[in-house]
Chain A
Amino acid sequence: GNSVTQMEGPVTLSEEAFLTINCTYTATGYPSLFWYVQYPGEGLQLLLKATKADDKGSNKGFEATYRKETTSFHLEKGSVQVSDSAVYFCALSDRGNTPLVFGKGTRLSVIA
């Protein structure tokens, strides 16, 4: 079945540090890939997505590239801010009516 594995947290970084959160997936076919972010006390919201191999999703300075050869969709940001502190979820959709499959989430804390 489909699955998503993302790096365990928590991750603590200083402001302006470089961020990488690893995500790998297992899926049949060609899934769409997503990163969702959950700020404290809130629901999840879409951060970025990519629908085919080599696509790069980007938003708010975050980027992730769909790598079919390594089945990965790592999230990166060049310079994190305190306001980026949140839990980040990697997810995949197999394009059918089946629900999104989420990773376990990675908590990021950015300190000034």
Chain B
Amino acid sequence: SQTIHQWPATLVQPVGSPLSLECTVEGTSNPNLYWYRQAAGRGLQLLFYSVGIGQISSEVPQNLSASRPQDRQFILSSKKLLLSDSGFYLCAWIAAPNEKLFFGSGTQLSVL
């Protein structure tokens, strides 16, 4: 069966520090992968999505970046965190268009 792993679950980082959040999917191949951010009062915001290795589409300009070094690995990064980067980050995957989206358990990031 397919599973999605996302870590860490919680993270507290100072302003200006780097960030690396990792997401891996098991039990499927060539999934479409997504990073969403859920900030208080702003709902679910799509940050990046990837339809294949090395292919990244950015939905919102910001100081975050994403990479997909392997088929089932999706990494969210930042060189210097801002206070506004605080939020709940969710990784998700979908096997095919129009199928349901599977979400990871999320990472609560607090930038202080």
A contact residues vs B (CB 8 Å cutoff): 32, 34, 36, 41-46, 49, 51, 89, 91, 93, 95-97, 99-100, 102-105
Q: Sort chain B's interface into a size bin.
A: 20 to 34
Binding site for A on B (CB under 8 A): 6, 32, 34, 36, 38, 42-44, 46, 49, 51, 59, 90, 92, 94, 97-98, 100-101, 103-106
Q: A44-B92, A46-B101, A102-B36 are in contact. List 5 more A-B contacts (CB 8 A).
A: A42-B105, A91-B101, A93-B97, A97-B51, A105-B38
A43 touches B105 (CB 8 A): yes
Measured CA separation A44–B89 after assembly (Å): 11
Q: Which residues of B contact A46 (CB under 8 A)?
A: 100-101
Per a CB cutoff under 8 Å, which of A41, A95, A100, A104 touches B101?
A100
- Write out the residue numbers on chain A whose beta carbons fall within 8 Å of the beta carbon of B90: 43-44
Closest 5 CB pairs of A and B: A104-B43, A43-B103, A102-B44, A46-B100, A44-B103
Whether B44 pairs with A99 at a CB distance below 8 angstroms is: no
> Chain B contacts of A49 at CB under 8 A?
100
* Residues in A whose Cβ lies below 8 Å from that of B49: 99
| Cα separation A97 to B6 with both chains bound (whole Å) | 23
Q: B42 to A95, Cβ gap below 8 A?
A: no
A96 touches B97 (CB 8 A): yes
Cα distance A102–B106 when bound, in Å? Answer: 17
| CA of A32 to CA of B98, assembled, Å | 7
Q: Given A42-B106, A43-B106, A44-B90, do A104 and B42 touch, yes or no (CB 8 Å)?
A: yes
**Which of A96, A97, A99, A103: most chain B Cβ within 10 A?**
A99
List the A side residues contacting B103 at CB < 8 Å. 36, 43-45
Give the nearest-CB partner of A51 in chain B: B98
With A and B bound together, what is the CA distance between A6 and B94 in angstroms?
A: 23
For this complex, 19 residue pairs linking A to B, each with C-beta atoms less than 8 Å apart, are A32-B98, A34-B101, A36-B101, A43-B90, A43-B104, A46-B101, A49-B100, A51-B98, A89-B43, A93-B98, A97-B97, A99-B32, A99-B34, A99-B46, A102-B36, A102-B43, A102-B44, A104-B42, A105-B38
